[in-house]
Chains A and B, each alone.
Chain A
Amino acid sequence: EVQLLESGGNLVQPGGSLRLSCAASGFTFSSYAMSWVRQAPGKGLEWVSAISGSGGSTYNADSVKGRFTISRDNSKNTLYLQMNSLRAEDTAVYYCAKYYDSSGYYVYWYLDLWGRGTLVTVSS
């Protein structure tokens, strides 16, 4: 079964750091680009970051640029999001999501599988 399982969400103080993980199973992880999408409480979806299958290409939304880093370890079938200098407005459920196409690219491709999400709360 194709599955994504996020972990690492927690309560953290403003200015703190956190690393999220997403364990993938049921597909050839290295062949697919991946993304992080977040949803603040009671709010809409916000696309945060994407990474190509090889890990050689990444993109971060302006709202997290310079603070968040997306990465992957294809030997461990795991996607990461390193979050630094956290702010209250980063409070959200963070979803890991997989792109449809096995080319490994995220441009021109849509998200077809989402994990259940992990909650990050930034508060003092």
Chain B
Amino acid sequence: DIQMTQSPSSLSASVGDRVTITCRASQGIANYLAWFQQKPGKVPKLLIYAASTLQSGVPSRFSGSKSGTDFTLTISSLQPEDVATYYCQKYNSAPQTFGGGTKVEIK
């Protein structure tokens, strides 16, 4: 099975900072990668699909990119409401594995 390795597991940044989260697939998955945001005590919410397509209603400060088997979620200017845990998920084939998550906090 394809493994999804997400890093870092946590980070602390200041409001307005640029934040980058990486997800590495153990094999090629083309662009079949989604990013989810889970705020404390809440349900996961789809942010990005197809590696770089923003889900409707998601602020434009969120973006996704791909380089080989490395995928990146970027928050261009961190806001207080972005405090959450972020997960990547590959969906090219079953099992549709999630990454381990990245907890984002405000410094």
- Residues on B with C-beta less than 8 A from A116 are 43
Interface locus among A7-15, A39-47, A80-88:
A39-47
Asked if B71 is an interface residue, CB under 8 A from chain A, the answer is no
B92 partner residues in chain A, CB cutoff 8 A: 107-108
Known contacts A45-B36, A114-B43, A117-B43; A59/B95 CB under 8 A: yes
Distance between B10 CB and nearest chain A CB, rounded to angstroms: 12
Seen from chain B, the residues whose Cβ lies within 8 Å of a Cβ on chain A are: 1, 32, 34, 36, 38, 43-46, 49-50, 55, 85, 87, 89, 91-101
A62 to B55, CA, bound (A): 30
- Given A110-B34, A112-B55, are A47 and B95 also a contact pair (CB < 8 Å)? yes
Taking CB as reference atom, which chain A residue is nearest B45? Answer: A114
Cβ-defined contact, A95 with B44, below 8 A:
yes
Bound Cα distance from A116 to B49, whole angstroms: 21
Name A110's contact: one of B1, B87, B91, B93 (CB within 8 Å).
B91
Our count of residue pairs bridging A and B at CB distance below 8 angstroms stands at: 63
Chain B interface helix/strand/loop/mixed? loop
A108 to B90, CA, bound (A): 9
Q: In the bound complex, do residue B87 and residue A107 qualify as a contact, i.e. CB atoms below 8 Å apart?
A: no
CA distance A37 to B98 in the complex (A): 10
Among B32, B91, B94, B101, the residue within 8 A (CB) of A44 is B101
B53 to A, closest residue via Cβ: A110
Set B34, B49, B98: member contacting A46, Cβ < 8 A: B98
Cα separation A116 to B38 with both chains bound (whole Å): 12
Chain B residues near A114 (CB-CB < 8 A):
43-45
Q: List 20 A-B contacts (CB under 8 A).
A: A44-B99, A44-B100, A45-B44, A47-B89, A62-B1, A62-B95, A95-B43, A95-B44, A100-B49, A106-B96, A107-B91, A107-B93, A108-B92, A110-B49, A110-B50, A111-B89, A112-B46, A114-B44, A114-B45, A117-B43
